[in-house]
Structure 1
């Protein structure tokens, strides 16, 4: 599995920093939905799903959290802690987020609107579909 980080151009001076997010420029898809997670309690894991077609970019605006990404063949764990870096999560990738810092604010941009039918919430169902797609 190839992990793709998107380096976001940071502008700033002694007053502070600014990062601009633009669809089809530094975000590789049309942005249809934006949401963010914050106030996640210690020891809580989130995610536990994959998307059939949805693509996402996750950015830790503040603090940090860890991701477990799984394509059905390989699992990769990584730390997201840079507000000038986005993590591209393609479709059919199982994701779990954990080890949230107390101050973590995780922003997620998606290429489509919320659609419950796009979610795969059973890991067994995900692995069955991922193996079928590989074969």
Structure 2
């Protein structure tokens, strides 16, 4: 991973057919997920008016998947680039690298699955936006 990686979409395998249904697979540190998965969690029943996320991570890498519904993810990279991603299919994931500020907004029926490279650690979270920008500047300079 470079000093500051960029977020990107991952297309997961979509196996099956309309008459029998589909399965998608994400192998940790395989072709689909660029890290060993250490934690899995999901969010659901989030009101459409709520914006979640509003943080970055020091170390954790994530892949976000809308297994149901629609999720709009806005990322800000360490270099300041803003990107908007619309996750609407359970066979597409969004890779979110460390030092990427991100927010998510959900359709009412959305279920978000998150694959994470690290177990939960509150110290890994950067929850203050100004602190995020300062850390990024300091890391880039040092």
Query: Is TM-score (shorter-chain normalized) higher than 0.5?
Result: yes
Q: Deviations over 1:15-69 (max 9, x none)?
A: 1000112111121111110000100012100001100010000000011011110
User: 2:14 matched to which residue of 1?
Assistant: 10
Change (3 A) 1:43 1:34: same
1:86 corresponds to which of 85, 93, 115: 93
Specify the SS of the correspondent of 1:57: strand
Match of 1:103, SS state, is coil
TM-score by length of 1: 0.94
Contact 1:48 1:95 in 2 (8 A): yes
5+ residue gaps, structure 1: none
For structure 2, the residue ranges without an aligned partner over 5 or more in a row are: none
Post-superposition Cα deviations, 1:92-117, rounded to whole Å, max 9, x if no partner, equal 0001111x111100100001100000
Say if 2:95 is the partner of 1:95: no
CA RMSD between the two structures: 1.2
Alignment partner of 1:33 out of 29, 39, 46: 39
Q: Is the 8 A contact 2:6 2:97 kept in 1?
A: no
Q: What's the CA shift for 1:134?
A: 2.4
Matched, 1:51 2:51: no
4+ aligned runs moved over 4 Å, structure 1: none
* Number of residue pairs the alignment of both structures matches: 134
Q: Give the Cα separation in 1 of the matches to 2:85 and 2:26.
A: 22
Out of 36, 57, 69, the residue aligned to residue 75 of structure 2 is 69
Using the TM superposition, give the Cα deviation of residue 82 of structure 1 relative to its aligned residue in structure 2, in angstroms: 1.7
**What is the TM-score normalised by the length of structure 2?**
0.89
